[in-house]
């Protein structure tokens, strides 16, 4: 059985108490973003086998590789469970679909959602406002000077060049992760050239102009060897991020 630690009180929330959680969330009146980060494993309450059983036929959607399919299935199942906890409905009633760009959507809901996966981990986010989450491995071989020229603004490249060589790869991955999160929140996908998007500060800018009131941040406490970023519409939102494990959850930010 999946158990998730209550974000505010540190108590364990049984699935049957989802409605109490959802009611408390509505009463609080605070705009909040819920984020889960979890490992892709075969067994457990959010393992690949359980995720496939939960999603049914939709779990066999075409993917480039078997590993991509495993990550996608776990991410969608985790998103389903997170939405169920957030809204107080049965997970079987949560319908996650995709738009023409492949972005996840919730049928019959005004909530905004986002998912991401890389390596052995996935991430999902739910908010009442536009949101984007991304996770990337910190040791990606393509994170080199050539990539920096393709995806970074001039100011970002200059900042990278001032770092010690041993620190540049990690810094570049963090920029890349923040950019992915921002374009997801904007809903533009690959239509926005990364070299025009500056995410070196919390207020992203596109070709020098403010990016629709979005804010971006790194999530502390990410899994070792990974970078996680979150973009939200509105700065003053309560971010409740959890590193979810089988039967428990720990805070990441």
The domain spans of the chain are 1-129+237-253, 136-235
Would you state the structure tokens that stand for residue 149, as one six-digit string?
């020229």
pLDDT tier at 242 (50, 70, 90 boundaries)?
confident
Angle at 138 between CA 134 and CA 143, to 5 degrees: 95
Instruction: Spell out the CATH class of 136-235.
Output: alpha beta
Q: Range with the lowest mean pLDDT among 62-66, 79-83, 94-98?
A: 62-66
Give pLDDT, residue 24.
46
pLDDT digit string, tens, across residues 200-230? 999 999 988 888 789 999 998 889 999 999 9
Q: Which of 1, 26, 4 is nearest to 242 (CA)?
A: 4
- Who's near 166: CB < 8 A, 6+ residues apart? none
3-state SS, residue 176 = helix
Architecture of the domain spanning 1-129+237-253: Alpha-Beta Complex (3.90)
pTM, two decimals, is 0.83
Decide: residue 131, CB within 10 A, 0-12 exposed, 13-18 middle, 19+ buried.
Answer: buried
Give pLDDT, residue 62.
56
């Amino acid at each position: 059985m999946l158990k998730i630690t209550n974000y505010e009180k540190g108590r364990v929330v049984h699935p049957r108490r989802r409605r109490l959680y959802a009611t408390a969330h509505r009463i609080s009146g605070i705009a909040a973003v819920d984020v889960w980060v979890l490992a892709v494993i075969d067994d457990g309450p959010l393992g690949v086998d359980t995720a496939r059983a939960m999603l049914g036929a939709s779990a066999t959607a075409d993917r480039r590789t078997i590993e991509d399919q495993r990550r996608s299935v776990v991410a969608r199942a985790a998103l389903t469970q997170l939405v169920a906890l957030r809204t107080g409905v049965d997970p079987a009633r949560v319908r996650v679909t995709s738009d023409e760009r492949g972005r996840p959507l919730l049928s019959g809901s005004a909530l905004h959602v986002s998912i991401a996966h890389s390596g052995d981990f996935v991430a999902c986010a739910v908010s009442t406002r536009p949101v984007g989450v991304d996770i990337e491995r910190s040791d990606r071989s393509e994170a080199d000077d050539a990539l920096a020229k393709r995806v970074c603004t001039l100011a970002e490249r200059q900042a990278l060049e001032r770092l010690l060589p041993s620190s540049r790869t990690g810094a570049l991955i963090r920029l890349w992760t923040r950019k992915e999160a921002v374009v997801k929140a904007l809903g533009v996908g690959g239509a926005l050239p990364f070299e025009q998007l500056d995410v070196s500060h919390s207020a992203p800018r596109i070709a020098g102009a403010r990016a629709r009131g979005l804010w971006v941040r790194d999530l502390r406490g990410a899994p070792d060897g990974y970078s996680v970023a979150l973009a939200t519409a509105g700065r003053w939102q309560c971010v409740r991020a959890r590193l979810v494990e089988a039967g428990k959850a720990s805070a990441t930010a």
